[in-house]
């Protein structure tokens, strides 16, 4: 007798719910799918759309001032009554004020990114009653963060867009997931299909974070040129920035190759030559390199300058086939995971 396909689908959906139940309980949402915090992209419209579709949107504070962040939070709350979070950069000079803005607005989850969260920030978030999420690139640091009071962790592989670490998600997951069970751990980097998310859930992940696919969604305020570049790109087009001379280090950023990335190499060569000639000291040379991309992400996302701007994207950009509504993207991910579970042979009793 053939198994009832409807029953197989229902059983698969229940299994998926079980697999990420720790993540959904922690986030307070239907699906443990977080929106990656992308500067200029993860603002109220996209964040609310992700949360309204059953995921968990996250505002990217970036370089915002406290007043700007307060407006973004209020704007998001006007568009959704579902939970969402705020991502704060630990190096922001007004970090304590930004945390207070989140707490005053009753934001339930605060993500501290871009460095190891200072003890004062951890204490402020915890004392304020919010849940704290942090990133870890290694098992030892993850355990240390848990001991310091962090409530959940994200492990992000080098396949991700924007600023990246050196290790792929496949390796990070093997290093961390079997050995860190004290708090929910979410995976990120290169994720674009439900089957991939499922594989990490079965390894022990509590959920997944996606950025690139949401950046090209209908609700994303990114310029049409920016989104079109995502649709046309393949995974191999999303490359990390190249460091020309180790004496003048470059923080690796993954983005789509364009005229700007070629010009960045030329700029590094020019600055290096001036440094070697004694025309610039090391600090001046380093600052010149770091300032090259100043405003470049905004130029690409908001103004649509995809030639000279920074088109940050993860390697999952090759899985972006069209501009879709957020709800459709999330449903597609769910359907793929459920189909993978439902297609497995039913075990026969011995």
Convert the pLDDT of each residue in 238-280 to its tens digit. 999 999 999 999 989 999 999 999 999 999 999 999 999 999 9
| Residue 79 burial (C-beta neighbours within 10 Å; 0-12, 13-18, 19+) | middle
pLDDT at 337 over 90: yes
Closest CA to 252 of 266, 240, 261: 240
SS3 (DSSP) at 135: strand
Q: How far is CA 243 from CA 264, 267, 279, 311, in A?
A: 10, 11, 21, 18
The tens digit of pLDDT for each residue in 12-71 reads 999 999 999 999 999 999 999 999 999 999 999 999 999 999 999 999 999 999 999 999
pLDDT at 188 over 80: yes
Whole-prediction pTM: 0.94
Report the b/e string of 304-332 with b at 16+ CB within 10 A: bbbeebbbbbbbbbbbbeebbebbebbbe
Residue whose entry in the numeric block shows the structure tokens 């098992």: 139
5-219+322-342: CATH topology: TIM Barrel (3.20.20)
Under a CB-based contact definition with an 8 Å cutoff, are residues 338 and 16 in contact? yes
What is the model's pLDDT at position 207? Answer: 98
What is the model's pLDDT at position 131? Answer: 98
What is the model's pLDDT at position 3? Answer: 55
Residue whose entry in the numeric block shows the structure tokens 């600055």: 271
List, by residue range, all CATH 3.20.20.70 domains of the chain.
5-219+322-342
Closest CA to 335 of 12, 99, 3, 1: 12
What is the model's pLDDT at position 268? Answer: 93
Q: How far apart are CA 68 and CA 86, in angstroms?
A: 13
Strands (E), the chain: 33-35, 57-60, 84-89, 109-113, 131-135, 152-156, 162-163, 185-188, 207-210, 238-240, 253-256
Is pLDDT larger for residue 195 or for residue 251? 195
CA angle 118, 182, 200 (to 5 degrees): 100
What is the model's pLDDT at position 6? Answer: 67
Residue whose entry in the numeric block shows the structure tokens 């993540």: 23
Looking at residues 73-101, what average pLDDT do you find? Answer: 97
Residue 293 confidence class, pLDDT cut points 50, 70, 90: confident
What is the model's pLDDT at position 2? Answer: 56
Residue whose entry in the numeric block shows the structure tokens 């396909």: 5
């Amino acid at each position: 007798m053939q198994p009832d396909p409807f029953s197989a689908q229902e059983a698969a959906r229940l299994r998926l719910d079980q697999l990420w139940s720790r993540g959904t309980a922690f986030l307070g949402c239907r699906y443990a799918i977080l929106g990656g915090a992308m500067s200029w992209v993860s603002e109220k419209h996209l964040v609310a759309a992700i949360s309204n579709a059953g995921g968990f949107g996250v505002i990217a504070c970036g370089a915002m001032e406290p007043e700007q962040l307060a407006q973004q939070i209020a704007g998001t709350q006007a568009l959704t009554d579902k939970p969402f979070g705020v991502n704060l950069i630990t190096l922001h000079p007004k970090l304590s004020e930004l945390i207070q803005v989140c707490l005053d607005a009753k934001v339930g989850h605060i993500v501290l990114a871009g460095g190891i969260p200072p003890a004062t920030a951890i204490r402020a978030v915890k004392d304020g009653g919010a849940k704290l999420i942090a990133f870890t690139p290694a098992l030892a640091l993850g355990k240390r963060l848990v001991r310091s009071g962090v409530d959940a962790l994200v492990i992000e592989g080098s396949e991700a867009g924007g600023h990246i670490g050196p290790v792929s998600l496949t390796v990070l997951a093997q290093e961390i997931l079997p050995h860190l069970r004290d708090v929910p751990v979410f995976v990120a980097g290169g994720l674009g299909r439900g089957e991939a998310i499922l594989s990490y859930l079965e390894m022990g992940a509590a959920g997944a974070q996606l950025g690139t696919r949401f950046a090209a969604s209908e609700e994303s305020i990114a310029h049409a040129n920016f989104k079109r570049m995502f649709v046309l790109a393949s995974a191999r087009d999303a490359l990390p920035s190249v460091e020309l001379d180790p004496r003048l280090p470059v923080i690796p950023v993954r983005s789509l190759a364009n005229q700007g990335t070629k010009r960045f190499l030329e700029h590094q060569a020019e600055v290096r030559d001036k440094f070697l000639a004694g025309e610039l000291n090391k600090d001046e040379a380093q600052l010149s390199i770091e300032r090259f991309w100043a405003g470049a992400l905004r130029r690409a996302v908001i103004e649509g300058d995809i030639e000279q701007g920074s088109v940050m994207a993860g390697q999952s950009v090759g899985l972006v086939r069209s501009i879709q509504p957020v709800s459709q993207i999330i449903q597609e991910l769910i359907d793929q995971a459920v189909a993978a579970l439902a297609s497995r042979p039913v075990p026969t009793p011995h």
